[in-house]
Amino acid sequence: MTTATITPPTSGAQEPTGALSNLRWLLSDTATLTRRNLLAVTRIPEALFFSTVQPIMFVLLFRYVFGGAIHVPGGLSYVDYLMPGIFVQTVAFGSVSTSIGLAEDLQKGLIERFRALPMSRGAVLLGRTTADLIRNVFVIVVMTVVGLLVGFRPTTGALSYIAAVLLILFFAYALSWGFAIVGLSAPNSETAQVMSFPLIFPLTFISAAFVPLASMPSWLRGFATYQPFSVTVSACRSLMVGAASTGTGRSTAFWVWQSLAWIVVLLIVFIPLAIRKYRTRT
């Protein structure tokens, strides 16, 4: 062991006072934890690698195996129909990492340490969801490249494409808060993952993501058309390859507003629930 003497401790920390400084600490603590969560992503590159391998396999599967049998509206090629669905599916699956990350921090006792620190209470959840948002930016860039390689050709221009990407990120952010609740309820990270998939699976597959809505039985079509995941896919599809591609006769603006409305509703419901769960979890 060291022979150096331990410095006699005296408190060097500053006590937070006032609303403005509270906000400043919230932002600074969120930045600290976002950085920490992103560092963890770079330290386990395998995790990021495999989380992009899965969507790439979906692209190849639907593009080359199932795609030939699926007839899409508006005389579109299937790959142009598919890719907006894949983007939204990828970030939706990716938002499960919010639940896994939080469950892991709880399990390893890190949140215990955070609770005893004079940091902002909200920074743990904000830092986690922000890190997952940034991670999703990276994933969408990768998936765009993959799409272009397999023949995806957006037709509506750069601005429209960027608007679609922003909408996807906004949607993923709302889902992250939902999965934060799952992560804070799970006893460990493995269970958090297992609990998340039954929630995300029906949303992504009973949807407009892979097959035209017209091909589904009418009792299913209502849900498949207007559930949050589906309207976001339709909005992105309209923004990326034109509104005719949805085969619903609706305009781009209609889907974008539908999607934004869902996102706002999800955030209003999920954020207070997640914060409550964080506070009461012992």
Partner 1 sequence: MTIAIEVDDLHKTFKGKREVRALDGVSFAVQEGTVFGLLGPNGSGKTTAVRVLTTILRADSGSAKVLGYDVQKKAALVRTLIGLAGQYAAVDENLTGRENLQMVGNLNHLPRAVVTDRAVELLAQFNLSDAADRPLKTYSGGMRRRLDLAAALVARPTVLFLDEPTTGLDPQSRNDLWEVIERLVGGGTTVLLTTQYLEEADRLASTLAVIDRGKVIAEGTPASMKADLGATVLEVGLASIDDAARTGSILDALGPHAALVNGTVVEVTVDDGPQAAMAALRALDAEGIAPQAFNLREPSLDDVFLSLTGHRTEDESPEDPDGGLSPRQKRKQKRVQTLEGALPVATGELA
Interacting residue ranges for partner 1, rule: CB under 8 A? 1-2, 4-16, 25, 28-29, 32-33, 36, 39-40, 43-44, 106-110, 112-119, 123, 187-188, 282
Cβ contact 259:171 at 8 Å:
yes
Q: Which two tokens stand for residue 227?
A: 């559930």
**Residue 80 to residue 83: CA distance in whole angstroms:** 6
How many other β-carbons are positioned within 10 Å of the β-carbon of residue 194?
Answer: 11
Nearer Cβ to partner 1, position 39 or 60?
39
CB of residue 5 to partner 1, shortest distance in Å: 6
CB of residue 9 to partner 1, shortest distance in Å: 4
Smallest Cα–Cα separation from 177: which of 100, 271, 276? Answer: 271
CB of residue 193 to partner 1, shortest distance in Å: 15
Beta-strand (E) ranges in the chain? none
Nearer Cβ to partner 1, position 39 or 194?
39
Nearer Cβ to partner 1, position 119 or 243?
119
CB of residue 44 to partner 1, shortest distance in Å: 7
**Residue 275 to residue 264: CA distance in whole angstroms:** 17
CA angle at 230 for the pair 227 and 231, rounded to the nearest 5°: 85
Nearer Cβ to partner 1, position 13 or 19?
13
Nearer Cβ to partner 1, position 32 or 77?
32
What secondary structure letter does DSSP report for 74? G
CB of residue 141 to partner 1, shortest distance in Å: 23
CB of residue 137 to partner 1, shortest distance in Å: 20
Residue 154 Ramachandran class (φ > 0 left, ψ -120 to 50 alpha, else beta): beta
Nearer Cβ to partner 1, position 30 or 230?
30
Please tell me whether residue 10 adopts helix, strand or coil conformation: coil
231 burial via Cβ count (<10 Å: 0-12, 13-18, 19+):
buried
